[in-house]
Structure 1
Amino acid sequence: MKYDIIGDIHGCFDELLSLIDKLGYIMQNNIPVHPDGRSLAFVGDAMDRGPNSVETLSLLFRMQDAGSLHYSPGNHCNKFYRFAKGNHVEQIHGLETTVAELDALPVEKRLDFLKRYRHFYEALPLYQLLDNEKLVIAHAGIRESMIGSPESKKIRVFVTYGDVTGERHPDGRPVRRDWAKTYKGAPFIVYGHTPVRQARFLNNTVNIDTGCVFGGALTAIRYPEMEIVETPSLQPYMPDRFTTFN
């Protein structure tokens, strides 16, 4: 199977449609289908911050219903799930934009959407293990020793939030270690979560979160070809939101 793996979307629905088109997919019954049998996959965080989280998630719902979805949930996915369950969740760091979209819907549609999202999230694996375990798609990355291990809180936190130190940046974001620097595993790992200016290949891993919602680009990697395909962002450029690694 060949995959086209897309980075963090964050509600950038127009850019997503543009990238899907550039990758050669056509819409059949409102589902993207590739004439050569390729499959789309996602590193997570489809919602929050950007202008159109509801339409982005609705497309993913349809793909899930059709059995064609490969999606690895991220920290924003988890936070929105807790909100959808009725938990008290602080509406900051982008959640407020998704909630504003929902509040604009009729009450019944809003309730139906939150119910559908709960089902969506609960059906997702923690990460994707594909191509006979040669390909791993994990939102924030994963250590080799964690791949295939029984699910634990430690693995859930790492895959969803990254290799966090417990410290925080002044804006409240957690400080994360550069786990890819020491990765020596055989499986090729595709991840996102930390915005970089261009796809970052390192030690049999690639970060494809190129900060679309911050004015960068929406990026996909074609597997197994290892070809990068991207579409420019339509959002304002925010250079301070991109990470530079040593």
Structure 2
Amino acid sequence: MQNQESPIIKVDSRHQSGPFDIIGDVHGCIDELTTLLQQLGYGVRFTGTGNDRRTVTSAPPGRRVLFVGDLVDRGPNSPDVLRLVMDMAAAGHAHTVAGNHDHKFLRWLKGNKVKVSSGLERTIAQLEGEPDAFKARTLEFLNRLPSHAWLDAGRLAIAHAGIKESMLGRTYPRAHEFGLFGDTSGRVGPDGLAERFNWAADYRGDTAIVYGHTPVAEAQWLNNTLCIDTGCVFGGKLTALRWPERQIVSVPALGTYAELRRPFGHPPARPAKPSEC
């Protein structure tokens, strides 16, 4: 596909208020996503095939869905997840931030050189039967996703991997990178994966941060932050947070679609610098 520059996307959306239903990492798990949405009171129906395939959605009065990213890769049907999310967004029923997997898939769609791994190979294979118009629409949609969203008069923020208080509402490169990947060292750990730290262990902000990226067995609040990636694609659950009610709603995975390369749970906190000890 033709290369396309990424626009600077507004992340300060404090004027947008809830109620919201915030959904964790989907990773192509369309059946679980449809079930969860229906449990939350949304209507979802697929119609047509090929160029005419689309979704018809409805939402409970006043409510919208917020997706924390990683819509694609690893799971059984990333194209239909994208189709559903894009149609919900077009209908005004949903808002999405970018995940690191979405970002890598976007780079592939643009024709950039990327390592086809970590589930991207499944998304590419699933995309083979899709019309060119769908691929072009997907590129345009992903190209306009923010790295985080600051919402509800500053009371709530969503980001894929997390966000520091000082980064809220900011679009500089480090804030964008943190939203996609969280707190990393730039090194590879003993497990062959990128070394991560639990940024939430040090968070003390008034804004509630809801994020994904790191699969956990249960969604539990920590320092006014909540990770809602409960590992659906790895055989866990797909989880939503109803806001402002702070009610957690989950549906079990219907299968194990990908191998978990490290255990469920948060990484360790970043070690203190010697001068801080």
Counterpart position of 1:147: 168
Hey, what's the Cα distance between the residues in 2 that align with 1:67 and 1:35? 12
Name the residue aligned to 1:236: 256
Matched, 1:64 2:89: yes
Mapped partners of 1:244, 1:123: distance in 2: 31
Aligned mate of 1:17, from 15, 25, 34: 34
Whole-Å Cα distance in 1 between the matches of residues 152 and 192 of structure 2?
A: 37
Aligned-residue Cα RMSD (Å) equals 1.8
Separation (CA, whole Å) in 1 of partners of 2:93 and 2:60: 14
Distance 2:19 2:58 in 1: 13
- After the TM superposition, which residues 70-219 of structure 1 pair with which residues of structure 2 at under 5 Å, given as runs? 70-103=95-128, 105=129, 109=131, 111-149=132-170, 151-170=171-190, 172-219=192-239
* Counterpart for residue 50 of structure 2: none
C-alpha contact (below 8 Å) 2:59/2:93 kept by paired residues? no
Residues 1:31 and 1:168: Cα distance change in structure 2 (over 3 Å): farther
CA distance in 2, matches of 1:172, 1:58: 33
Alpha-carbon offset, residue 240 of structure 1: 5.2
Q: Give the corresponding residue for 1:221.
A: 241
Change (3 A) 1:79 1:240: closer
Q: Which runs of 5+ in 1 are unaligned?
A: none
Greater mean alpha carbon deviation, residues 30-39 or residues 64-73:
30-39
Higher CA-based Rg = 2
TM norm structure 2:
0.82
**Kept after mapping to 2: 8 A contact 1:11/1:46:** yes
Q: Cα–Cα, structure 1 residues 112 and 172, in superposed 2: closer, same or farther, change >3 Å?
A: farther
TM-score of the pair, normalised by structure 1: 0.92
Confirm or deny: 8 A CA contact 1:4 1:40 kept in the other structure.
Answer: yes
Q: Structure 2: how far apart are the matches of 1:166 and 1:87? A: 21
Bigger mean CA deviation after superposition, 162-171 or 210-219: 162-171
- Check conservation: 2:58, 2:93, Cα contact below 8 A: no
Q: Which amino acid aligns with 2:105?
A: F
Following superposition, the deviation at residue 37 of structure 1 comes to 2.2
Separation of aligned partners in 2, 1:210 and 1:241: 14
What percent of counterpart residues are identical?
47
Gaps spanning 5+ residues in structure 2: where? 1-17, 46-53, 269-277
What's the CA shift for 1:170?
4.6
Q: Indicate if the aligned counterparts of 1:217 and 1:231 stay in contact, CA closer than 8 A.
A: yes
- Counterpart Cα distance in 1 of 2:124 and 2:207: 37
Q: Is the 8 A contact 1:211 1:242 kept in 2?
A: no
1:143-169, Cα deviation, whole Å (9 max, x unpaired): 0000123x1221111110110011213
1:175 to partner: Cα distance: 1.0
Aligned to 2:10: none
| Residue 61 (structure 2) aligns with | 36
